[in-house]
C-alpha cells in the first residue's frame, strides 16, 4: 500500500449519529463505547447516536465522544487489515493519534480526554473567552496584529490551520480588536461557536494539573511515527512526548506546518479518520495542486468500503 497518513479530527467535527454503523457492525467498537462510558460515567453512545446536539457539544461530553468515534473508525480500519505509515491529530484529535500510534492505551486515552474536557470546561466557566477564524492573512501578519493588542489583554494564535486560515483565541474584547485590525487589512473574521478560549493562557490554570495527569500515565515508544501539534515534527521518546502533550494544552496547533511535514515524507494517501470533513477541507487548501495525492474520509461503513475498493 502507498504511504498513508491517518488524520484524526477534534472539536467541531461532531454530528448526531456519528459512529452508529460501526457500533452496530463490530463487537470491538461496542467495547470501546463500554470503556469510555465506564470511565466518564456519561451515556456517550446515546449522545453520539441520538443527541441532543446541544448536550453532545458540551466540552466535557464532546471530548470523549469525538475520541471514541475516531477510535471506532480506526478500529474498523484495523479489522480490515489497514494501518498507517504515520499519524497526526488536530488538537483533541491528537489523543486519538496517540492511541493509534501505540503510545497510549485505549483506556488511558479516554481518561486523558475526559479529564482534559473537565478541566477545560472548568477554566472556561472561570474566564470568558472567544475564538475567531481570520481568513486571508499570513501567519506572520496575524502574529504582528496579536502582538500589538497583547499588551492590553489576553489574545493569542490558537491554530494555524492553512496558509491563510488562522484561529485566534483569548478574552472577547482583545480578540475583537485583532479581528477588526485584520478586517482593515482585507481579511475576513469569523466568530466561532466555542465555549472557551482554547489554546490560550485563559485556560492555563489547569495546565499544571493536566500535566500531573499525563505524568501519572504510561506512555510507550511509538509503534508508528506521529507528527505533533506543538512541534510539527515527530518524536520517539516517551518522556518528551509527555512534555509535548502537556504543552499542547495552551500552545498553538501548528496544523499547516504539520501537513507540510507530511508532504516532506512523500505521503500519497491522506485519510481523515473520524466524523466530518474538516481536515480534508483544510488539506485541499494546503496541498499544492501539483502534489500527487488522494484524500479520503473514513466516517461510515460505506466510506470504508469505498476506500477498500479503491486502494486494496
Looking at the structure, tell me whether residues 147 and 32 fall in a common domain: no
Looking at the structure, tell me whether residues 143 and 113 fall in a common domain: no
Residue 1 has pLDDT above 80, yes or no: no
Neighbours of 179 (CB within 10 A): 23
- For residues 70-76, give the mean pLDDT: 98
Judge whether 289 lies within some domain. yes
Judge whether 78 lies within some domain. yes
Domain count across the chain: 2
| Model pLDDT for residues 93-107, shown as the tens digit of each residue | 999 999 999 999 999
Judge whether 49 lies within some domain. yes
Looking at the structure, tell me whether residues 169 and 278 fall in a common domain: no
Q: Burial letters for 127-151: b for 16+ Cβ neighbours within 10 Å, e otherwise?
A: bebbbbbbbbbebebbbebbeebee
Looking at the structure, tell me whether residues 300 and 174 fall in a common domain: no
Looking at residue 312, its pLDDT comes to 79
Judge whether 40 lies within some domain. yes
Looking at residue 186, its pLDDT comes to 97
Looking at residue 24, its pLDDT comes to 97
* Per-residue confidence band for 311, with pLDDT thresholds at 50, 70 and 90: confident
Residue 195 has pLDDT above 90, yes or no: no
Residue 15 has pLDDT above 90, yes or no: yes
Looking at the structure, tell me whether residues 283 and 232 fall in a common domain: yes
* Catalytic residue list: 91, 199
Look up the CATH number of the domain holding residue 70. Answer: 3.40.366.10
Looking at residue 292, its pLDDT comes to 86
| Model pLDDT for residues 121-151, shown as the tens digit of each residue | 999 999 999 999 999 999 999 999 999 999 9
| Model pLDDT for residues 250-307, shown as the tens digit of each residue | 999 999 999 999 999 999 999 999 999 999 999 999 999 999 889 999 999 999 999 9
* Per-residue confidence band for 176, with pLDDT thresholds at 50, 70 and 90: very high
Q: In angstroms, rounded to a whole number, what is the distance separating the alpha carbons of residues 64 and 87?
A: 19
| Model pLDDT for residues 30-60, shown as the tens digit of each residue | 999 999 999 999 999 999 999 999 999 999 9
Which contiguous run of DSSP H or E holds residue 135?
Answer: strand 130-135
Q: Of 191, 211, 245, which residue is a domain's last?
A: 191
Nearest to 74 by CA among 289, 287, 224, 291: 224
Kindly report the backbone phi and psi dihedral angles of residue 179, in degrees, each rounded to the nearest multiple of 5, phi listed first.
Answer: -60, -45
Looking at residue 98, its pLDDT comes to 98
Looking at the structure, tell me whether residues 148 and 185 fall in a common domain: yes
The structure's pTM equals 0.97
Q: Of 157, 191, 225, which residue is a domain's last?
A: 191
Looking at the structure, tell me whether residues 174 and 286 fall in a common domain: no
Q: Of 191, 209, 242, which residue is a domain's last?
A: 191
Residue 183 has pLDDT above 90, yes or no: yes
Q: In angstroms, rounded to a whole number, what is the distance separating the alpha carbons of residues 58 and 40?
A: 14
* Per-residue confidence band for 196, with pLDDT thresholds at 50, 70 and 90: very high
Looking at residue 298, its pLDDT comes to 97
Looking at the structure, tell me whether residues 144 and 228 fall in a common domain: no
Q: In angstroms, rounded to a whole number, what is the distance separating the alpha carbons of residues 304 and 284?
A: 20
Judge whether 219 lies within some domain. yes
Looking at residue 30, its pLDDT comes to 98
Judge whether 196 lies within some domain. no
Residues whose CB is less than 8 angstroms from the CB of residue 209 and which lie 6 or more positions away in sequence, other chains included: 119
- Which contacts (CB < 8 Å, 24+ apart) does range 208-215 have? 209/119, 210/115, 210/116, 210/119, 210/246, 210/249, 211/246, 211/249, 213/111, 213/112, 213/115, 214/112, 214/242, 214/245, 214/246, 215/242, 215/246
Looking at the structure, tell me whether residues 48 and 186 fall in a common domain: no
The gap from C-alpha 134 to its chain's centroid, in whole angstroms, comes to 19
Looking at the structure, tell me whether residues 93 and 155 fall in a common domain: no
Burial label, 272 (beta-carbon count in 10 A; 0-12, 13-18, 19+): buried
Give the domain range for residue 164.
128-191
Looking at the structure, tell me whether residues 296 and 164 fall in a common domain: no
Look up the CATH number of the domain holding residue 171. Answer: 3.30.70.250
Looking at the structure, tell me whether residues 102 and 216 fall in a common domain: yes
Amino acid at each position: 500500500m502507498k504511504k498513508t497518513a491517518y488524520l484524526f479530527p477534534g472539536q467541531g467535527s461532531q454530528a448526531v449519529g456519528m459512529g452508529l454503523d460501526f457500533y452496530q457492525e463490530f463487537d470491538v467498537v461496542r467495547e470501546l463505547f463500554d470503556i469510555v462510558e465506564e470511565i466518564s460515567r456519561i451515556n456517550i453512545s446515546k449522545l453520539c447516536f441520538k443527541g441532543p446536539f446541544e448536550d453532545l457539544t458540551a466540552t466535557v461530553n464532546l471530548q470523549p465522544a469525538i475520541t471514541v468515534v475516531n477510535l471506532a473508525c480506526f478500529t474498523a480500519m484495523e479489522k480490515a487489515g489497514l494501518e498507517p505509515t504515520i499519524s497526526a491529530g488536530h488538537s483533541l484529535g491528537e489523543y486519538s493519534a496517540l492511541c493509534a500510534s501505540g503510545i497510549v492505551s485505549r483506556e488511558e486515552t479516554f481518561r486523558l480526554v475526559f479529564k482534559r474536557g473537565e478541566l477545560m470546561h472548568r477554566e472556561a466557566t472561570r474566564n470568558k473567552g472567544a475564538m475567531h477564524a481570520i481568513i486571508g492573512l499570513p501567519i506572520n501578519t496575524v502574529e504582528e496584529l496579536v502582538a500589538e493588542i497583547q499588551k492590553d489583554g489576553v489574545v493569542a494564535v490558537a491554530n494555524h490551520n492553512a496558509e491563510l486560515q488562522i484561529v485566534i483565541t483569548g478574552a472577547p474584547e482583545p480578540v475583537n480588536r485583532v479581528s477588526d485590525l485584520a478586517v482593515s487589512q482585507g481579511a475576513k473574521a469569523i466568530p466561532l461557536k466555542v465555549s472557551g478560549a482554547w489554546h490560550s493562557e485563559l485556560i492555563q490554570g489547569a495546565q499544571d494539573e493536566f500535566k500531573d495527569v499525563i505524568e501519572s500515565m504510561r506512555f510507550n515508544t511509538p509503534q508508528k511515527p506521529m507528527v505533533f501539534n506543538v512541534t510539527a515534527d515527530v518524536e520517539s521518546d516517551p518522556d518528551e512526548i509527555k512534555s509535548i502533550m502537556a504543552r499542547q494544552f495552551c500552545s498553538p496547533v501548528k496544523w499547516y506546518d504539520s501537513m507540510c511535514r507530511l508532504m516532506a515524507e512523500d505521503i500519497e494517501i491522506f485519510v481523515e479518520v473520524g466524523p466530518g470533513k474538516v481536515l480534508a477541507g483544510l488539506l485541499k487548501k494546503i496541498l499544492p495542486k501539483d502534489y500527487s495525492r488522494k484524500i479520503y474520509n473514513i466516517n461510515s461503513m460505506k466510506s470504508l468500503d469505498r476506500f477498500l475498493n479503491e486502494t486494496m
